Copies of this chain bind each other. A is one copy, B any other.
Amino acid sequence: MSDSSPKTSLPAWLAQVSQMVDEALDDLMPSGSATPQALHMAMRYSVFPGGKRLRPALAVAAFEAVCGPRATADAAPGGRHALAIRAGAAVELIHCYSLIHDDLPCMDDDDMRRGRPSCHRAYGEAIALLAGDALLTLAFESLALPELAEAAGAHRAGLLVGELARAAGSLGMAGGQALELAISEQSWSGQLTSAADAVRRMESMKTGRLFEAAARMGGIVGGASEPEMDELSRLAQSFGLAFQIRDDIEDATAQDSGSGRLTAVSVWGLEGARVRFDSSVAEAKRCADLFGEAGFKLRNLIDLISFA
């Protein structure tokens, strides 16, 4: 059960959310002994143990921002708080699938992920490919479970599917990855007017769009109004941009990668990237403030990426 009162510290709340998300993910996935075993083991290997589960946390924080004090009353099993967790879990499945496919030799060719062999290094390329496909598919299956449609209402469940699919597809995350390829091959120039435009567009699609879906899906579960949904979009896009720029700055200062890549740092310089980071954080906070007291968790999450 999540204690959503403002008094809960952020680390404690994040740990609570992360545990509930992990339980939901565990429920959703066939066991590693189910046929075909290699596939199910590879799926679980790529989902557990997870990172900070930042996207699900954003979904739950958005839900709480929209619901205010009612969020705690909804914390019963089958209640709307549990639905926000399920929505967050679906976003996390999309994130996990994208990491598997991103690590493949034909993409970034990464041998390591979260301190251990990447999925294809552990299970082979073919199984890694299929594990990504299956996690992507499972994300949508999870939003079509009868129990979810019953608790959320079929209409709202459909909105969740549409939101997640648009965010993950060719005009969202997958499109952002393709745009990154085009940028690295310098073949974006016919499509976009400048390097800065290309990077902005790529970051918004590749990273921002899935954060946006997480926040909006929390909003959908909470019954957000149209203006509230708009603010959640703006907040999450700014949040995702800040998150991405922080990554770029860390890479650039560690000098461990990114040479030659077009990133916020290579386009705007270290100082320019820091300015963009600060303005993105400020914009995200401005949006969070519009939810008053109930926006507490959103503000906390923004602080987390600011100081981590």
Contact = CB atoms under 8 A, between A and B. Distances in A.
Interface of A: 30, 34-40, 43, 97, 101, 104, 106-107, 124-127, 129-130, 132-134, 136-138, 140-141, 143-146, 149, 153-155, 157-159, 161-162, 165-166, 168-171, 174-175, 177-179, 181-182, 187, 190-192, 201
Contacts of A138: 165, 169-170
Contacts of A174: 39, 130, 133-134, 137
Contacts of A178: 36, 38-39, 127, 130
Contact of A175 (B39, B145, B158, B179): B39
Nearest to A198: B35
Contacts of A35: 175, 179, 191-192, 201
Given A35-B175, A175-B35, A137 B158 contact: no
A170 B45 CA distance: 14
A12 B91 CA distance: 44
Given A166-B141, A175-B36, A107 B134 contact: no
A143 B165 CA distance: 10
Copies in the complex: 2
Given A34-B170, A35-B175, A130-B178, 19 more contacts: A36-B175, A37-B190, A38-B178, A43-B170, A106-B124, A106-B126, A107-B129, A126-B181, A129-B129, A133-B136, A134-B175, A136-B136, A136-B137, A137-B174, A138-B165, A141-B165, A144-B159, A144-B161, A154-B157
A144 B130 contact: no
A182 B37 CA distance: 9
Interface SS majority for chain A: helix
Nearest to A138: B169
A161 B175 contact: no
Nearest to A34: B171
Top 7 closest A-B pairs, CB basis?
A141-B165, A144-B162, A106-B125, A154-B154, A39-B178, A134-B170, A144-B161
A146 to B, nearest CB: 8
Contacts of A179: 35-36
A152 B154 CA distance: 12
B39 A170 contact: yes
A179 B132 CA distance: 16
Contacts of A132: 133
Contact of A149 (B97, B143, B158): B158
Contact of A144 (B141, B165, B187): B165
